[in-house]
Structure 1
C-alpha cells in the first residue's frame, strides 16, 4: 500500500464550507475507483492548509493518477498548486468493519 498526501497551502484561510462543497462535488469520481482504497478531504486547525489523503493498493496506480492534467485541474479547484508526497505505508489499522 502507498499513501499520498496532497497539500494545498495559502496565506488566507480556506473556507470550511468551500472545502466541504469541493469534497461533496468530487466524491463521486473516486467511488469505486480501481486501486483506490480510501480518500479523505481535510482542513487543518488553522485553516491555511487543505489536505487530501489517499490510500492506494500500489505505487504504480497512485503515480499514474497524479498526471500533470490532474495537478492543473486541482490547482484550479483549490486556487493554489498542490504539494504531492508519496508515503510508504508500513502498517495500517482499519476499524471500519467493527
Structure 2
C-alpha cells in the first residue's frame, strides 16, 4: 500500500465551502476506482492549506495517477500547484466495515 498526500498552499485562505464544493463535484470519478482504497478532501485549521490524502493498494497505480496533465487540472481547480508526497504504508486500521 502507498499513501499520497497532495497539499495545495495559497497566500489567501481557502474557503471551507469552496473545498466542500470541490469535494462534492470531484468525488464521483474516485468512487469505485480500481486500486484506490480511499481518498479524503481536507482543509487545515487555519485554511491556508487544502490537502487530499489517498491510499492506494498498489504503489505503481498510486504513482502513475499523478500525471503532468492531472497536476495541471488540479492546479486550476485549487488555484495553486500541489506538493505531492508519497508514503510507504506499513500498517493500516480500517474500521469502516465494523
Superposition TM-score, scaled by structure 1 size: 0.98
Q: Which sections of structure 1, spanning at least 5 residues, go unmatched?
A: none
Q: Which sections of structure 2, spanning at least 5 residues, go unmatched?
A: none
Structure 1 position 58, deviation (Å): 1.0
Structure 2 counterparts to residues 49-68 of structure 1, below 5 A: 49-68=49-68
Question: CA RMSD of the aligned region, Å?
Answer: 0.5
- Are residues 1:38 and 2:8 paired? no
Structure 1 position 12, deviation (Å): 1.1
Question: 4+ runs of 1 displaced by more than 3 Å?
Answer: none
Instruction: Specify the alignment match of 1:15 in structure 2.
Output: 15
| Count of residues in correspondence between the two structures | 98
Query: What is the distance in 2 between the residues matched to 1:34 and 1:58?
Result: 10
Structure 2 counterparts to residues 49-88 of structure 1, below 5 A: 49-88=49-88
Deviation track 1:43-98 (CA, whole Å, cap 9, x = no partner) reads: 00010000000000111001110000000000000000000001000110111111
Structure 1 position 41, deviation (Å): 0.1
